[in-house]
Structure 1
Amino acid sequence: MDGASIIEQLMTTEGRFDPYPLYARAHELGVAVPAGPGVVLVVGHAAASQVLRNPAFAVEDNRSLAADNAELLAHPSVELLGRSILQRNAPDHGRVRSLVASAFNARRVAALRPAVETTVSRLLDELAELGADGSPVDFMDAFAFRLPVEVICELLGVPAADRHRFRALSSDLTIALEVIQDLGELAAADPAAEELSVYFEELIAERLARPTGDLVSDLARIAADSPERISGEELLSNLVLLLVAGFETTTNLLGNGLALLFRHPEAAEGLRTGSLDPALFTDEVLRFDSPVQLTSRISTAPDLAVAGLPTPPGTAVFVMLGAANHDPARYADPGRFDPARTDSQPLSFGGGPHFCLGSQLARLEADIAIPALLDRFPRLALAEVPVRRDRLVLRGYETLPVTVR
């Protein structure tokens, strides 16, 4: 099996369901693996980190799409996300990122702990009520989605009455972040992008008229007063990104973590008794079953190479985060779930200029939520076979039915 075959297999439902055997085959081929003309897979941990931190490996932005794939750029979902910091390069990326980064600094995230704890407690109460008669409750819908969406919406200033709308819209929009083989796959993503755009246009107008001191109010005022710092279009795209990214990864982290606890009851017992550090457990979940499996870059400079493999300008470089987190050169027995590892340093949140702004917040939510869940429900059990989302880039569960009584 060569690199192109591995990509082909990863694009199947079976490959997406369990990509890890394919990653193991890729590791046998090398640290960086050719995968067809102008395509390279990076599966080694050190090499992936190198690519993520080198700005000469750029993200594919709307400017490059306009030149190379204008048909794709014509889709509202692709165009919207392409205006966000997720898919912008220097200098625009740094200019806009600096405006929102302060909302996610260590001090502000630490200050959110009481709010996260309160939200966790309330959602556990509701979970207990939903499952009081012993009937199955979908953990993903009742808790894993609601906790991070409550937190990010509070930070942004999105009214509580609107928050229930976002799970389906986010699920549809993030199709645009997958590896698109057929433009028809964007049929659900485009209307989701349009609906979210209209929603935030109205919220921005409301906050300009009546500011409330939240992030939307602050950024809307900057865009109105200093459009050279952030334009109206950039504001809109990045608010959508912050909403979607603010809970999409954390939702998958919580679901993937709980599913692993059902397979490893000794880890659940360790969290209940306090003998297992929740932060180490979160790190190992991120490493073992990363909520984000890959990201991509484009080589933009001559003489670039990854682990000795040349990547001339225009080379598409797929950074396989899930594979890098299972690199046998970096981790002893990488296919074993071991929450006692103390040196994980998973690449699940990326690295370099595009390192995830919300990584500390996601970790905080998981570190608080999972032990609280286990403490509240000593007999928490899997009720039915969980259903995976049929995605490659964003890996998580569609449903995870549990009983709590």
Structure 2
Amino acid sequence: MDAADAMAYLFSPQGRVDPYPAYERLRAHGPVVEIAPGLYVATGYAAIDEVLRDPRYEVTHEELTQHPVAGWAESPAVASLTGSMLRANPPDHGRMRQLVAGAFTPRRVAAMRDVVTAQATALVAEMARRGRDGATLDVMDEFAYPLPIGVICALLGVPEADREAFRGWTVDFAAVLEPEISDAELAVADRGAVALRDYFRDLVEARRRAPADDLTTALVQAHDAEAGRLTGDELLANLVILLAAGFETTTNLLGNGLVVLLRHPRHAAALRDDPALAGEYVEELLRIDSPVQVTSRKATVPVTPGGVPVPAGGRVLLLLGAGNRDPERFAEPSRFDPTRPHNQPLSFGGGPHYCLGAALARLEAQVAFPLLLRELPGLALAGEPRHRTRLTLRGYATLPVTVDADQHHRVVVPVPAGERGTPTGAGSGTP
């Protein structure tokens, strides 16, 4: 299969649900390959890491698809994306990021552990109550969505009563992050963006009238205190992105990671018995099935990532999920092994755009997984989880489980072929 055909398969519904076979087909052509004039794809860990950190690249506002989408330039979703720090380049990127970074310092994140633990404990207790008679529960509904939403909304100062609506709006809006999007998908993303911007416009006005100890108030005050620090459009765009990035990625980490653990019960048992292992477990869960699979950069001058000449203006699609399974970087990369040494997944990016909320996402996962395994010892898959047909933000639409160990209607979901093998280290084994 040539590189263009492999990319076509990757963007198909089947490829989006399971991108890893397409990654290997692309990898066969080298760590970086040109798939269309001026458009390149990177699958190699070293090449992706190089591009992420090299100041000769910038984030791009352009579509990566070869098929232009009607209304792209006028899209509210695109405006929310390009007006935020996520798609800003120097000097605007540093100016906006500095205003937000104070909320995500190591000290502030560490101080949130008690808040995260309290929210996670309450959610797990409710799961135990609802599932005590053998009822099938959806982890995405019961835990993986509510925990990150609760945490990021607490940071932003969103009232608890308003949080439920955010799930649908943000899932719709996140379609704009896909490397290829249809007219219909962009229309859905626009509806989500409009709803989010309208909500935050009202919240901004509320915080002007009554300031609070939250990130929204801090950004409003930065906007109002000094002209040029943050425009009105940037204020709204960054609130939208902070919400979307603040829970979508962590939701996917929790869902993807739990499935891996439930398919590797000996590893799950080791983590249940020793929560101190959570740090290395979370790194391997990030690597084996990254919640963020794709990002992109544009070269500002001629460059040679992975030894491949890319002209100025060339766009490079960085397949983070492929880099995380690069055999040149990780031995037996398709095998789940939380004892893997020197494990540094690309899942949160790198360089100036390294995810601001990475430490908070890690904290939530490090709290959540041992808690779920300890408090729900009968936790088991109750059917085949169903992925969303999204490539950039990889996660499950549904994740059915039971929590009552005495129930006998549970099904055994096999480990995918790419994740089989004999893991090493304490508590190793396969299902």
TM-score, normalised on structure 1?
0.96
What is the 5 A alignment of 1:4-403? 4-61=4-61, 71-274=71-274, 277-301=277-301, 303-403=302-402
Letter in 2 for 1:397: Y
Letter in 1 for 2:303: L
Give distance in 2, aligned partners of 1:62 and 1:6.
22
Give distance in 2, aligned partners of 1:76 and 1:265.
45
SS at match of 2:345: coil
Please give the per-residue CA displacement for 1:131-166, whole angstroms capped at 9, x wherever unaligned.
122111110011001111111111110100001111
TM-aligned CA deviation for residue 71 of structure 1: 3.9
Taking structure 1 as reference, are residues 45 and 75 closer, same or farther at Cα in structure 2, changes over 3 Å only? same
Taking structure 1 as reference, are residues 74 and 300 closer, same or farther at Cα in structure 2, changes over 3 Å only? same
Letter in 1 for 2:274: G
TM-aligned CA deviation for residue 63 of structure 1: 12
SS at match of 1:125: helix
TM-aligned CA deviation for residue 127 of structure 1: 1.1
Question: How many residues in Structure 1 have an aligned counterpart in Structure 2?
Answer: 402
Preserved contact between residue 62 and residue 83 of structure 1 (Cα < 8 Å): no
TM-aligned CA deviation for residue 183 of structure 1: 2.1
TM-aligned CA deviation for residue 378 of structure 1: 0.7
Please give the per-residue CA displacement for 1:36-91, whole angstroms capped at 9, x wherever unaligned.
211111111111001001122111137999xx989412111111111011111111
Q: Which residue of 1 aligns with 2:413?
A: none
Please give the per-residue CA displacement for 1:195-252, whole angstroms capped at 9, x wherever unaligned.
1101000000000110012111111011011131111110110011101100100000
Give distance in 2, aligned partners of 1:40 and 1:61.
16
Please give the per-residue CA displacement for 1:362-388, whole angstroms capped at 9, x wherever unaligned.
000000101000000111111122111
Give distance in 1, aligned partners of 2:75 and 2:197.
14
Letter in 1 for 2:230: I
Structure 2 regions of 5+ residues with no counterpart?
Answer: 405-431
Give distance in 2, aligned partners of 1:94 and 1:341.
34
Most deviating of 214-223 and 199-208: 214-223
Q: Decide which structure has greater helix share.
A: 1
Letter in 2 for 1:285: L
Letter in 1 for 2:379: L
TM-aligned CA deviation for residue 185 of structure 1: 1.8
Structure 1 regions of 5+ residues with no counterpart?
Answer: none
Please give the per-residue CA displacement for 1:97-152, whole angstroms capped at 9, x wherever unaligned.
01101100101000101111111111111111221221111100110011111111
Give distance in 1, aligned partners of 2:353 and 2:4.
27
Taking structure 1 as reference, are residues 276 and 99 closer, same or farther at Cα in structure 2, changes over 3 Å only? closer
Taking structure 1 as reference, are residues 34 and 84 closer, same or farther at Cα in structure 2, changes over 3 Å only? same
SS at match of 1:291: coil
Preserved contact between residue 61 and residue 89 of structure 1 (Cα < 8 Å): no
TM-aligned CA deviation for residue 391 of structure 1: 0.7
Preserved contact between residue 386 and residue 401 of structure 1 (Cα < 8 Å): yes
SS at match of 1:176: helix
Taking structure 1 as reference, are residues 231 and 180 closer, same or farther at Cα in structure 2, changes over 3 Å only? same
SS at match of 2:33: strand
TM-score, normalised on structure 2?
0.90
TM-aligned CA deviation for residue 276 of structure 1: 7.1
